[in-house]
Amino acid sequence: MLLTKDIIDEKDKILRKKSKEVTFPLTEEDKKNIHDMVEYLTNSQIDEIAAKYSLRPGMGMSAVQIGVLKRYITIVHESSEGHFDTYIVINPKIVSESKEKIYVEDGEGCLSINRETIGIVPRCARVTVEGFDIDGNPITIRAREELAIVFQHEIDHLNGILFVDRIDPKNPFKYKDTYRAI
């Protein structure tokens, strides 16, 4: 079982490297990593389990965050009370995005950033992501609002980008009146 301590901190330079495309079939190690990532994300959103194991809550995780430079991400989104939708995308690519920009009003967070951050991270309100499922079948996901933000955040990780890189250092709240808060 993955624990918070197993997630790589921003000080580790591996988070700045670009992840490599994955070939199919997946290795048993990759399948186990994906299972562990999904398990962590699910457990981290269930208060009793998160408290028992001191898990920081998270909705998404990329392989690089556990030290694997491969292009796969997992997202566990609580779509309604106690019901989770799980997304596993291998070699994800954003193929279209809305012109409308949004940001998380309370600020984005990241399991790899263990400090307070302030500022607006501009994101597209809607994205279409293409990639492959765990068996190598092509998939397309259309995501809106919060889910769209998580996809953009995790795909950034695969390209060595952290959300703090997207905050304007000279004016962290530059887009407050331009983009929509969610």
Task: Choose, from 28, 39, 81, 154, the residue flagged as catalytic.
Answer: 154
Q: How far apart are CA 163 and CA 33, in angstroms?
A: 23
Question: Active site includes 145?
Answer: no
**Residue type (1 letter), 62:** S
* Tokens found for residue 35: 């299972």
Q: Identify which of 58, 64, 76 has the alpha carbon closest to the alpha carbon of residue 4.
A: 58
One-letter amino acid identity for 167?
A: I
**Cα–Cα distances in Å, from 13 out to 65, 69, 111, 114, 168?**
11, 12, 15, 15, 22
Q: Which residues are catalytic?
A: 154
